[in-house]
Structures are given as C-alpha cells and as structure tokens.
Homo-oligomer: A and B are copies of this chain.
Amino acid sequence: MKKVSTLWVLLSVASAAFITAVSTGGAGENVSPVYGVSLPEGYRNWRVITVAHEAGQNNDIRAILGNDIAYEAFRNRMLPFPDGSVIVRLAYEFKSSPENDAVFPAPQSFVAGAPTNVQISVKDSKRYSESDGWGYGQFENGIANPSVPLVNSCYTCHQKLDRSKDFVFSHYSP
C-alpha cells in the first residue's frame, strides 16, 4: 500500500507539472478563445469527482474529473479552489439502452452514447482575475471550439453561482 501511495504522489507531482505546462497554451495552438485553455493530455485518466445528467437541450450524461489539485480540493471541501486546479467535464449523449432493458424487469437503463463535448475549467486567480479566477474551454473531438460567444457563456453561467462555491457547480461524491 505504501508503494501505491508513493507512486500516487510521484504521479501527482509529475502530472501537475505536466498539466500546468499544457493547460494554458498560447494563441495559435489548439486552445479556447478568450482564455487560451487547452485540453490537458491524460485528462481521461483523472479521478472522478462526480456524475450528473443534464436534461433539456443538452440531454447528456456526464462525468466530472479533476486533476490531483482539484480532486483533493473537492474531497476536502477546500474553497476557493487552489490555483492549478483543473476540472474536466466529459459529456455523452443520454441514451436509453434497449440492450440492458432486455435483461431488466422494466425499461430503466440509460447509458452514455457518443461523446458530445468536453469542457475544461482552469483555476488561475491571476491570469483569470477578470473571470473570478477561472478560465474555460470547450472541445469537440479534441478540437477547441473557436466560438467566442460560446466560451463567454461559460463565465456568464458560472458567475451566477455563489462566490462561496468558487463558481463551481459540482460537489464531490464519495
């Protein structure tokens, strides 16, 4: 167990350094407009914070993952989030599963279909001081969505949250 813990720490340090290097790329790279946020390599391996479903127009099911800084902050209810926190929200089509329902007593199973988009929130209180410390980006098939209105809508929505939540929707699920 000690060996596993030590490796986690090493991995955390290595990945934190790596993420810092890749999550705030400059113009001309595959980065979001306005904030210059890129898709952190290896994010799919990050630990899960929680899961959620958005009905309505999104109609998706989602996993919210965090890098080690964000994960520990969520888990220990540290607010505001420390600089270097990166939250990744993976969304998928919300699909009924006839395959599963054939086995269950009644139709009840909804699963993740095709990926819709990935949204990233990067905490950097200095760089993103004008958006309450967070920079945002949205990616489809690994490509930054170039829409300025879209990425601006991230902050428009998040800023409506209470400052005491540090403008973050998710809560940690044990």
In-complex Cβ contact of A63 among B41, B42, B63 (8 A): B63
Determine whether the beta carbon of B106 is less than 8 Å from that of A56: yes
List A residues at the B interface (Cβ < 8 Å): 1, 3-4, 7-8, 10-11, 14-15, 18, 41-42, 44-45, 47-48, 50-58, 61-63, 65, 90, 92, 94, 97, 100, 102-112, 115, 157, 160-161, 169-171, 173-174
In-complex Cβ contact of A103 among B7, B41, B106, B157 (8 A): B157
Determine whether the beta carbon of A42 is less than 8 Å from that of B108: no
Determine whether the beta carbon of B45 is less than 8 Å from that of A18: no
A interface: dominant SS:
mixed
CA distance A92 to B100 in the complex (A): 19
Contact status of A173 and B90, CB under 8 A, knowing A54-B110, A65-B48: yes
CA distance A173 to B4 in the complex (A): 26
In-complex Cβ contact of A52 among B18, B42, B55, B112 (8 A): B112
Determine whether the beta carbon of B55 is less than 8 Å from that of A108: yes
In-complex Cβ contact of A45 among B8, B41, B94 (8 A): B8
Determine whether the beta carbon of B106 is less than 8 Å from that of A160: no
Determine whether the beta carbon of B157 is less than 8 Å from that of A41: no
* Residues on B with beta carbons closer than 8 Å to the beta carbon of A51: 51, 61-63, 92, 112
25 contacts between A and B (CB under 8 A): A1-B41, A4-B14, A7-B10, A7-B11, A8-B45, A48-B65, A51-B51, A51-B62, A51-B112, A52-B110, A53-B53, A53-B61, A53-B109, A54-B108, A54-B110, A55-B108, A55-B109, A55-B110, A56-B104, A56-B106, A56-B108, A90-B173, A103-B160, A111-B170, A115-B173
